[in-house]
Amino acid sequence: MRVLLYSILGSLIIGSFTSCIVPKKQFDELLAEKVRMEADLMQMQKDMTTLSSKKDSLATALESTASDKKAIEEELAKTNEKLSNLQADHDKLQTYYNNALNNSGRMNRDLKEQQERLLALQATLKEATYNNELLEDSLAIREARVKELEDIVAESQRAIGQLKENISEALLDFGSNELSVEQRNGNIYVSLSEQLLFKSSSINVDEKGKKALQQLAGVLKTTPDIHILIEGHTDNVPIAGKSKYMQDNWDLSVLRATSIVKILVNAGVNPNMLTPAGRGEFSPVAPNNSDANKAKNRRTEIIITPDLSKLFSILEQNQN
């Protein structure tokens, strides 16, 4: 989505070159900056795709591990029952054997057969005991891995919950009609209305909006292991006052997201955690059929996602 921003930069370079004579050094610098930004975009898109894929694989692996645990528990129960039956048979044969010794005169012909059966049962019992111990060890290992995964997930969710509380406290000065903070699907969504951040068709953040973003940055810059996506959204009304830098709502949403990123970075947030994006009018929260609904759609969403690298590391170990 940042492609639009880069396209604008490219247009600016070409437009500036054709409309007036630009020194070659300046042109080369602008062209180099465009190439660098395009490379950054490709890397961020790759990282976003990898993160989403790994997140899906985490849910699948957790479900598979829980299923394996249940199957092992069932197999262990069956083995314990078989072991118990074998032990009972062994005890019964041992009794027969002892009786045979006391009645050797009548039982000599059967004694050898009983001994062989007893030895066979003892060997079977030994093998069953060994297999049972292997199943118990396997179950213990899987239970430990499941618990480790569950503990990390729980720790991540606790951290996200605490972060949501910290963000909510930092933004208490602002009304519900200006912003909202929600926790959904393991992520935190901070939605800021247009009236808090921008004047109509503007990409410059108002002073009150800057204050909200700076207070939010105070929490984010002290929080490690998170990824932050800034999404600009508009209603379906075409922008007024088009320029070569801003032709439509796509451009407006991207430039607004970039403006917010710069404020967060200037307030101390690590730029490596930030990704600006523009959704234009194509991800509304309400139908664009009234002024009230259009106002809801004119917003910026800051989506905070936990870093799942620890979970991915454990999953890779399990696969090995």
Q: What is the pLDDT along the chain (320 residues), one digit of tens a residue?
A: 444 444 554 554 445 444 556 688 888 889 898 899 889 888 988 888 888 788 788 778 878 888 888 888 888 898 888 888 989 988 888 888 878 777 767 667 777 888 888 888 888 878 878 787 777 766 777 777 777 777 777 787 888 899 999 999 999 999 999 999 999 988 999 999 999 999 988 999 999 999 999 999 999 999 988 999 999 999 999 998 788 889 999 999 999 999 999 999 999 999 999 999 999 999 999 999 999 999 999 999 999 998 866 555 555 656 55
Give residue 3's pLDDT. Answer: 45
Q: How many Å apart are CA 134 and CA 154, to the nearest integer?
A: 30
Give residue 4's pLDDT. Answer: 45
Fold of 1-320: 60s Ribosomal Protein L30; Chain: A; (3.30.1330)
Instruction: Please state the pTM of the whole predicted model.
Output: 0.55
Give residue 6's pLDDT. Answer: 46
Q: Taking every pair of C-alpha atoms in the chain, what is the biggest distance, in angstroms? A: 123
The answer to whether residues 315 and 61 touch, using CB atoms and an 8 Å cutoff, is yes
The answer to whether residues 147 and 265 touch, using CB atoms and an 8 Å cutoff, is no
| Cα separations in angstroms, 78 against 81, 86, 88, 133, 175 | 5, 12, 15, 13, 61
Q: List CB contacts of 286: < 8 A, sequence separation 6 or more.
A: 293, 296, 297
